[in-house]
């Protein structure tokens, strides 16, 4: 097949779904995978004239119209560099390479610079939505070559999810900006997942609600401002029964894995000095969950004093707590993106970015309309905007939930961190003055005063 619009390299779950999406939108696709099994498995009945499964890279590249556009869906890391090296001998100046995996943004920036010097347009595109999103319309965040974006945007924006008339795919900025934004998106996802899980745990082990009662509460949330993709699939999880008729979720081992984007987000927050405690707690909760044997030993050896009946009458207020922690999760992620944008000169339009997340992606929610409006007011932190002036009304519910959970000896680190985040932002005075005094005492690090300018040192002993 000649004059294909785009090639898709990598026919795993995500790659094959994206290729099928393109084909169903009547783009002509040259599909390729190193795996014989993946090539043999790939088929789109009724659309045979719209694609060719190529036997090798040479055939794939030869099938493309110019400028050639190649979308890579391979495992992040060295595999991406290997594929680029494999493709380069067949490419010409002006051709476009797209990495749609979860690559580290610094790797994407390095590849962008290297390929730019060779005249190849390189895009790092964050793809959110999972297998179904890839097939029916994902959210996509493109970064890298502006020229490459202009050459490929019609295809990308067509196959992306749409919110009304708007495509949920946009150009973020140069270098690794697209993958940076996807990394933080995943950090927000970590936080919301952990917060939902802790809320479920409080309902079950603190309020002692039945599984049916918990499921009903989540169903109610689907019809409220909490409506989101993750709340929606939470209902699906709660409704799923095992073969014996009991809830399947109760039989799932409490050990969670991660693929690296959460850790990268934490490293970035430390490097840039941005406070994202809820994302931190979510990542560390997954890390600690792997120490199952240690937790079993602790359960046997460590005692706790739980206050009987402390969580009575808490259920009615529980709905406001998730709304506040959802707002806080978005606030933390957007604050990190804003700081990175400023320091890298990316000039990211945060309100425009939020529009990309309104459909097709894992963290889409009804609340994003308000988040988008708030970022037009204040890109530094959305919880300080007029749009979210009502969060003070939500605070008592979160505070009561956290306090009662802790008094009941139930660990809710992510919920507590969301409350602490709120409290820190309303703290004109922090206890760090005492830290500064101690640092000056043992290390002569000096300190600043509230009543005069300058740096001071005191002989404390």
Percentage helix, strand, coil, to 5, in the chain? 55, 10, 35
Classify residue 244 by its DSSP letter. Answer: T
- CA nearest neighbour of 212 among 252, 248, 251, 239: 239
**What is the radius of gyration, based on Cα positions, of the chain?**
25
Rounded CA gap, 115 and 100, in Å? Answer: 16
Classify residue 205 by its DSSP letter. Answer: I
**Is residue 51 helix, strand or coil?**
strand
How far is residue 286 CA from its own chain's centroid?
15
Contacts of 285 (CB under 8 A, 6+ apart): 194, 256, 413, 414
- CA nearest neighbour of 203 among 188, 220, 228, 190: 220
Q: Using CA atoms in the order 123, 126, 129, 131, what is the torsion angle rounded to 10 degrees? A: 60
How far is residue 112 CA from its own chain's centroid?
23
Catalytic-labelled residue, pool 189, 198, 268, 379: 189
- Pairing relationship of beta strands 6-9 and 169-173 according to DSSP bridges: unpaired
Catalytic-labelled residue, pool 20, 175, 182, 404: 182
List, as one string, the DSSP characters of 332-384. Answer: HHHHHHHHHHHHHT----HHHHHHHTTSSSTT-BTTHHHHHHHHHH-SS-GGG
Rounded CA gap, 145 and 147, in Å? Answer: 5
List, as one string, the DSSP characters of 287-321. Answer: HHHT-HHHHHHHHHH----PPTTTTTT-GGGTTHH
- Pairing relationship of beta strands 139-144 and 69-72 according to DSSP bridges: unpaired
User: Which single residue is written with the structure tokens 């703290």?
Assistant: 427
Whether 189 is catalytic is yes
With beta carbons less than 8 A apart as the criterion, state whether 105 and 184 touch. Answer: no
**What amino acid positions are annotated as catalytic residues?**
182, 189
């Amino acid at each position: 097949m000649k004059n294909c619009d785009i090639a898709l390299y990598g026919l795993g779950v995500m790659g094959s779904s994206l290729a099928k999406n393109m084909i169903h939108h009547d783009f002509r696709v040259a599909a390729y995978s190193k795996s014989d099994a993946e090539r043999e498995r790939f088929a789109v009945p009724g659309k045979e004239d719209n694609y060719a499964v190529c036997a090798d890279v040479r055939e794939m590249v030869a099938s493309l119209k110019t400028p050639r556009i190649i979308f890579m869906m391979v495992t992040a890391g060295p595999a991406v560099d290997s594929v680029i090296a494999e493709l380069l001998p067949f490419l010409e100046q002006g051709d476009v390479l797209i990495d749609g995996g979860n690559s580290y943004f610094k790797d994407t920036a390095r590849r962008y610079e290297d390929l730019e010097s060779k005249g190849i347009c390189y895009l790092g595109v964050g793809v959110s939505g999972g297998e179904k999103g890839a097939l029916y319309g994902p959210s996509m965040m493109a970064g890298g070559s502006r020229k490459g974006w202009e050459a490929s945007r019609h295809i990308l924006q067509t196959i992306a999810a749409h919110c009304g008339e708007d495509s949920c795919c946009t150009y973020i900025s140069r270098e690794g900006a697209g993958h940076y934004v996807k990394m933080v998106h995943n950090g927000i996802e970590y936080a919301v997942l952990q917060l939902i899980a802790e809320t479920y745990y409080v309902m079950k082990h603190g309020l002692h609600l039945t599984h049916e009662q918990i499921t009903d509460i989540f169903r109610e949330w689907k019809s409220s401002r909490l409506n989101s993709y993750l709340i929606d699939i939470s209902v699906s999880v709660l409704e799923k029964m095992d073969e014996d008729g009991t809830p399947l979720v109760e039989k799932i081992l409490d050990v969670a894995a991660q693929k690296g984007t959460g850790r990268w987000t934490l490293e970035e927050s430390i490097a840039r000095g941005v406070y994202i405690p809820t994302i931190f707690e979510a990542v560390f909760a997954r890390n600690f969950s792997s120490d199952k044997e240690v937790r079993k030993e602790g359960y046997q050896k460590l005692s706790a004093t739980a206050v009987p009946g402390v969580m009575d009458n808490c259920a009615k207020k529980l709905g406001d707590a998730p709304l506040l922690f959802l707002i806080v999760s978005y606030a933390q992620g957007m604050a990190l993106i804003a700081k990175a944008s400023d320091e890298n000169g990316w000039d990211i339009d945060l309100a425009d970015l939020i529009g990309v997340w309104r459909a097709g992606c894992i963290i889409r929610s009804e609340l994003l309309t308000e988040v988008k409006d708030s970022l037009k007011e204040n890109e530094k932190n959305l919880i300080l905007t007029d749009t979210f002036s009502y969060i003070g009304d939500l605070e008592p519910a979160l505070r009561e939930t956290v306090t009662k959970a802790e008094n009941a000896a139930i660990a809710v680190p992510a919920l507590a961190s969301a409350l602490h985040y709120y409290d820190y932002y309303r703290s004109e005075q922090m206890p760090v003055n005492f830290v500064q005094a101690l640092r000056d005492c043992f290390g002569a690090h000096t300190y600043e005063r509230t009543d005069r300018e300058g740096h001071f040192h005191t002989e404390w002993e």
